[in-house]
Chain A
């Protein structure tokens, strides 16, 4: 039994080394120690009522930061899907519809979800000035009885 335990530990250590080595060589590598996050400020969020007005007036571009499968299952009507986790691959198709001045509302789902935060950070890095987060977006929108859509397209 002791030998089994020792060998199990050895596999774990070897796996850890393998993982670190693979990450070093991977094009999608992530920093081993995550840099501390700056917490979003109140000004980074758009209240639901304002988002609704923007949506009704067609004054904002809504971006769904969730995975394609979640988007397909249901999203804010007219919102485009730009998964935060696949930003680099999916950004070009969205970029053609945006200018640095475009008012953008990002959202994901759940109070703990920070995909919309990541997406907002990435967009701001690229020079978009009017990006705000609709917190708990999908749930809040649905519960308010606002217009939704399903499928892979907006």
Chain B
């Protein structure tokens, strides 16, 4: 079980580090992807595009490194919940937009595949944040 949790931490943390880093690389493109979701007032879009990827990298990095595992997993679960809500409303509203999940170089659009993947990540992060037990809790 220990090794399973270890691998899970590396994978989830790694996904967030990579996804965040790719967005930091192209903040303008990511801002455009956020704007396409039509959820945020235009004035806030850039702020979120600047802050969110850095929080992803930090939380993912901490989870991988095993520092503050539960807090970083909780934060990741919270971000995943927001992403899931965003994609769900986009699918529901039939917005044919780019997911923006990883970066602007992926052509993937929002849809059921993106929803399923994100739901898997969300469940894994919730597991790490709430039920995962190890010798020294943090």
**Chain A residues packing against B (C-beta within 8 Å):** 4-8, 10-12, 14-16, 18-20, 22-23, 26, 28-34, 36-37, 67, 69-70, 73, 84-86, 109-110, 112-115, 118
| B84 at interface, CB cutoff 8 A | no
Question: How does the 8 Å CB contact mask read for B83-102 relative to A, with 1 for contact and 0 for none?
Answer: 00000000000011110000
Chain A CB within 10 Å, residue with most, of B28, B35, B36, B129: B28
- The 5 lowest CB-CB distance pairs between A and B, nearest first, are A19-B54, A15-B55, A7-B71, A69-B107, A85-B29
- Complex-state Cα separation, A113 to B25, whole angstroms: 21
- Complex-state Cα separation, A110 to B97, whole angstroms: 8
Q: A5 touching B74 by the CB < 8 A rule?
A: yes
Q: A30 touching B42 by the CB < 8 A rule?
A: no
| B133 at interface, CB cutoff 8 A | no
State the Cβ distance, B28 to closest chain A Cβ, in Å.
5
Known: A19-B53, A30-B28, A110-B97. A67 touches B59 (CB 8 A): no
**Interface of A: prevailing SS:** helix
Q: B55 touching A16 by the CB < 8 A rule?
A: yes
State the Cβ distance, B90 to closest chain A Cβ, in Å.
10
Give the number of residue pairs across the A-B interface with Cβ within 8 Å. Answer: 115
**Chain B residues packing against A (C-beta within 8 Å):** 24-29, 31-32, 35-36, 38, 42-43, 45-47, 49-59, 62, 68, 70-72, 74-75, 78, 95-98, 104-107, 129
State the Cβ distance, A107 to closest chain B Cβ, in Å.
14
B35 contacts across to A, CB distance below 8 A: 114
Q: B49 touching A30 by the CB < 8 A rule?
A: yes
